[in-house]
Amino acid sequence: MRRACDLGDWRGEEAMAKQGRIRVGIGGWTYEPWRGTFYPDGLTQKRELEYASRKLSSIEINGTYYGSQKPESFAKWHDETPDDFVFSLKGPRFTTNRRVLAEAAESVQRFIDSGVLELKDKLGPINWQFMPTKKFDPDDFGAFLAALPAEAGGRSLRHAVEVRHDSFRDPQFAELARKHGVAVIHAADSEYPEIEVDTAPFTYARIMGTTEGEEKGYSEAALDAWAKKAKDWASGGKDVYLYVISGHKVRNPVAAMALIERLG
């Protein structure tokens, strides 16, 4: 039995147990202007992922959006990063940039079978990003969500959708995403619609407002606000994936590290 004087500590432990894991990172790791600003002078390019993965807790792989990667590459990325590191992946544009999404099932499965499982326990969510011209069609989009597999190779999969047209501000869209357990990506500080709805057991955010005039990309107040937002998302036990993307890209790593520092 717990002593009465331990009650406060016990409640604190219980609150911690309900806190989801917050991971913060950037998009990709190969960017020439980061050499000498984020990466130390003299660091070889082949060691950039090794370095970045020890400063950040996640990275969103963008190369998978533009073309297929070899299974050996996924295995190599797995081996170069710390045990608790996680990658998110962007699904291929050939899958999402099509007129009829209901016909995407074969393309989705081809991507899942392409070697992504070589990331093993470091495989995080898959971001299925759509063009700003793609409008919401309940039947067609519902068929796409139904084609996203919940597991592969005995491993559970997490899916998120990044939609960029105002027509997705529709309760039917949120209901479909919730039905399939797919997260709606919170795209913030950008020209795209900000749709914040709770539809999945995790939260995926991409913040795009870094500027050249701020030493850390964002002001101290903005960084404090984003750190608080991430903690609020995680307070109910949800894992959070937050990426500093676009904006003034040179500043993105330092902004991500500033958020990690605030999150402890």
Per-residue pLDDT of 202-260, as tens digits, reads 999 999 999 999 999 999 999 999 999 999 999 989 999 999 999 999 999 999 999 99
Give the DSSP letter string of 1-56.
---GGGHHHHHHHHHHHHPPPEEEEEE-S--GGGBTTTBPTT--GGGHHHHHTTT-
Confidence class for position 130, pLDDT limits 50, 70, 90: very high
Any domain includes 108: yes
Question: What's the rounded mean pLDDT across residues 188-206?
Answer: 96
The CATH number given to whatever domain includes residue 226 is 3.20.20.410
The β-bridge partners of 61 are 89
What is the C-alpha end-to-end distance of the chain, expressed in Å?
Answer: 32
- Select the more confidently predicted residue: 18 or 5: 18
Q: At residue 12, does pLDDT exceed 70?
A: no
Question: What's the rounded mean pLDDT across residues 155-177?
Answer: 98
Place of tokens 């969103």: 60
Ranges assigned E (strand) in 130-192: 151-152, 155-156, 159-162, 183-184, 186-188
Tally of structural domains, the chain:
1
Any domain includes 10: no
Any domain includes 59: yes
* Amino acid 25: pLDDT: 98
Residue-number span of the structural domain to which 204 is assigned = 21-263
Contact 159, 128 (CB under 8 A): yes
Any domain includes 8: no
Any domain includes 166: yes
Any domain includes 14: no
